[in-house]
Amino acid sequence: MVKIFIDGEAGTTGLQIRERLADLGSVEVISIDHHARKDADARKDMMREADLTILCLPDDAAREAVAIADELDKDAPKIIDASTAHRTAAGWVYGFPELAPAQKDIIAKAERVANPGCYATGAIALLRPLIEGRLAAPSNPFTINAVSGYTGGGKTMIASYETGQEPNFVLYGLALNHKHIPEITMHSGLTQKPVFVPSVGAFPQGMIVCVPLQLTALENPPTLTALNELFSDYYSTSKSVVYHSIAEQAAYSDQRLSVDPAKDNDTMEIWVFGNSADQQAVLVARLDNLGKGAAGAAVQNLKLMLDLS
């Protein structure tokens, strides 16, 4: 049995992780007494006992937790940080196994892994193949549009929506400085900060991320067929990211794509839709903001780091 300590297990992501770990017979989740959850010495004792600690905390608290772990030196556990704090930090491995062919092995050998943001997971999955495949320059001015279920906003937002205090749809981050932009820029391989417009809808779970493309504006303008081949090859060996080819798109003849199937799903789906005559395309990722966008990704990384099936 391997021991897992979830620092912040009462939060939305922590609860979702614990639920998933209950299905793993080789894992024991150890919990801190509720009244000691902010006691540094008690947290240090839990970390000392754990093989791996998952941080489900605000950014500053996550940094504080890492400082506590550092005091343990060789007794420190492996760490997965689900906050924003270390996603672009030196010495941390980015926990998106599908990022590149070698990323799974890098995560498996890592001591400290930063879990990706939910929006970032979808955006990077769409942008990184374009840069790696040299169909677009890193300096290309990309635009990203996305909508998420309200559970991504934490307990306060969840309570606000579930008591009917929020509108059906809200654009936000209109100062264009959303906290996921640095990791999207870095891990997509971009040199130009993208324009990212996130939004929240009045549904609990699920997320759709879109990148619209004027194909003629790209460095090496691809056809829709070339885009299809690129994404099909990039995710051909992945079980957690599924690419739906052009041949499968007959199922979307009504030109609509619902967010509903993403709920309670740890798989991310990707499509390339387009208009060949106008040389336009839209890249689409659909995922559960609490699944592949948070808890599902953390458990995927945990399995790699601890060599669990």
Per-domain residue ranges of the chain: 2-116+294-305, 118-289
The per-residue pLDDT for 309 is 75
Whether the pLDDT of residue 253 is over 90: the answer is no
Whether the pLDDT of residue 209 is over 90: the answer is yes
> Which of 118, 213, 295, 302 is an active site residue?
118
Superfamily of segment(s) 118-289: Dihydrodipicolinate Reductase; domain 2 (3.30.360.10)
Query: Quick one: pLDDT band at residue 54, thresholds 50, 70, 90?
Result: very high
Whether the pLDDT of residue 254 is over 80: the answer is no
Whether the pLDDT of residue 73 is over 80: the answer is yes
Pick the CATH number of 2-116+294-305 from 1.20.1420.20, 3.40.1350.10, 3.20.20.70, 3.40.50.720: 3.40.50.720
Mean pLDDT of 8-26: 93
Percent of the chain with pLDDT over 70: 99
Mean of per-residue pLDDT scores for the chain:
95
The per-residue pLDDT for 246 is 77
The per-residue pLDDT for 256 is 87
Q: Is 56 a catalytic residue?
A: no
Contacts of 165 (CB under 8 A, 6+ apart): none
**Residue 169, class by beta-carbon neighbours within 10 Å (0-12 exposed, 13-18 middle, 19+ buried)?**
exposed
Whether the pLDDT of residue 20 is over 80: the answer is yes
- How open is the CA angle 298-116-12, to the nearest 5 degrees? 55
- Least Cα distance to 257 among 292, 208, 299, 290 occurs for 208
Contacts 24+ apart (CB under 8 A), 241-246: 241/98, 241/125, 241/267, 241/268, 241/269, 241/270, 241/292, 242/267, 242/268, 242/269, 242/270, 243/269, 243/270, 243/271, 244/269, 244/270, 244/271, 246/272
Q: What is the pLDDT of residues 276-306, one digit of tens each?
A: 999 999 999 999 999 999 999 999 999 999 9
The per-residue pLDDT for 23 is 85
The per-residue pLDDT for 76 is 97
State if pTM tops 0.75. yes
The per-residue pLDDT for 255 is 79
HSE-up (13 A, CA, CB side) for residue 207: 31
The per-residue pLDDT for 172 is 95
